Structure 1
């Protein structure tokens, strides 16, 4: 019962997050990941165009010995890899790059909910980045291990792994670890170490899975930014071209707003769950004044 209660809390927090963003005008943050995604995709396309401009004949003409040939092949392989990574995985890179912004937005939401303040500290910021990388590496490792185990069980029992009911557990596991990453931003401000954060989130799996599920739906949609800006066939098929462009634009917007919407939802859900205003590590002037008044009354 506790699992479903926490799951419902996580789903409701998304509806609250939409109203919260609108009420407090946080929608100014939304274009940042959208523009960043376009920039990353553009850089990737430039790498791809740069590589496409090379000809094998030119490469062979330029290479006069084995060392030059090897360096040419390495340069070509590197450019192809960078281009594909930036073009195909732009939305995932955006989430990593936006980690400091996501943390700041979570603090802004908490301040509006509780009046909690967290003074800026470069040392704390560097600590947060280091912690975020450790959490990300840990989550990727465990998610991959679980994926391989489920894949192995499915392959042994079914001709097609997709036919196995166990295969769909991979989605739930992915939801859990995505939600884990966002909830940990709040746990860090509560001064929970990584082990304590892991224990907390394990006890609130329903919340983590709910937060991660909506985020995954948005972030995993197959966005093709190349199709969104491709109007080469507009004169021949204007309606089809516009429809494809608008559809890809919608998917792009969903993927772009996902990190902002999710961290707002996660912060709201955590406040409903643990009352973030009681965080003793926050600089909350109202709480200090109330405490002082209570001492005077006594």
Structure 2
């Protein structure tokens, strides 16, 4: 489980990130990447939502679940399977969001590494001398963490997709999948700060396991910001950096 206090702390860091962005005029680093993210995300989401229904119908016809349900004549069972179909759609949409975000994390890794470093430099009142070699290491570290989290999350999502076929049990799978998604997104955003603190990937994973609430809270607000996708990714990394800095980690 995770600490509610840590979740709330991560949520509050988004308000601080908004104030920070306004105060230091960082909008140019938010708007342009946000527009690109927004356009690509919605095009993909429309495609996935439109075709997943056909996939569910094809699967039910292949298994011959529709004929079996019709032969039983039970309206209650029909209702449960309609709910199961909806859960499968939601799980698949979450899976799409996961893959898309990790794709954008990998492509946007140079920007996120830069934003995290710039945020920390402003907070500490000092400049970090640009080191190309270190910058490349930061980018490569972000890519490795993104791939690692994508693999783990995909495995969990596939397991939850199987559970979604079970009536009643399947009703809670979208919520669990959403929390898993929040956790891994927050983890990816926080790791840019861990790299600058010279924490190894193993140490980073160990810290996140002890402070799951910080990652969940960061990812939770990101999901709310999906409705304002133009600011979601960059706000997440700045909020994560501010939150980590305030923990006084060595």
Q: What are the equivalent positions in structure 2 for 1:89-128 lying under 5 Å apart?
A: 93-128=103-138
Q: Quick one: distance in 1 between partners of 2:111 and 2:186?
A: 17
Q: Quick one: distance in 1 between partners of 2:163 and 2:39?
A: 41
Matched, 1:12 2:22: no
Quickly say closer, same or farther: Cα 1:95–1:255, change in 2 above 3 A: farther
The one of 204, 213, 230 aligned to 1:197:
204
Tell me the equivalent position of 1:272. 246
Structure 1 residue 167, shift from structure 2 partner = 4.0
Quickly say closer, same or farther: Cα 1:99–1:211, change in 2 above 3 A: same
Structure 1 residue 10, shift from structure 2 partner = 0.2
- 1:38-70 per-residue CA deviation (whole Å, 9 max, x = no partner) reads 7869xx9xxxxxxxxxxxxxxxxxxxxxxxxxx
Q: What are the equivalent positions in structure 2 for 1:258-297 lying under 5 Å apart?
A: 258-274=232-248, 279=250
What is the count of residue pairs matched by the alignment?
195
Matched, 1:255 2:229: yes
Matched, 1:159 2:167: yes
Structure 1 residue 204, shift from structure 2 partner = 0.9
Structure 1 residue 207, shift from structure 2 partner = 0.6
- Whether the 8 Å CA contact 2:194–2:204 is kept in 1: the answer is yes
The 3-state SS of whatever aligns with 1:179 is: helix
What's the TM-score once normalised by structure 2's chain length? 0.69
Matched, 1:168 2:175: yes
Q: Quick one: distance in 2 between partners of 1:140 and 1:39?
A: 22
Quickly say closer, same or farther: Cα 1:208–1:37, change in 2 above 3 A: closer
- Whether the 8 Å CA contact 1:36–1:94 is kept in 2: the answer is no
- Whether the 8 Å CA contact 2:14–2:235 is kept in 1: the answer is yes
The 3-state SS of whatever aligns with 2:199 is: coil
Matched, 1:188 2:162: no
Tell me the equivalent position of 1:131. 141
Quickly say closer, same or farther: Cα 1:95–1:134, change in 2 above 3 A: closer
- Whether the 8 Å CA contact 1:37–1:91 is kept in 2: the answer is no
Structure 1 residue 182, shift from structure 2 partner = 0.3
Tell me the equivalent position of 1:294. none
Q: What are the equivalent positions in structure 2 for 1:12-51 lying under 5 Å apart?
A: 12-37=12-37
State the structure with more CA Rg: 1
Structure 1 residue 35, shift from structure 2 partner = 4.2
Instruction: Give unmatched runs, 5+ long, in structure 2.
Output: 45-98
- 1:164-193 per-residue CA deviation (whole Å, 9 max, x = no partner) reads x24421110010000000000000000111
RMSD, aligned α-carbons:
2.8
- Whether the 8 Å CA contact 2:102–2:150 is kept in 1: the answer is no
Greater relative contact order, per chain length (Cα 8 Å cut-off, separation 6+): 2
Structure 1 residue 92, shift from structure 2 partner = 6.2
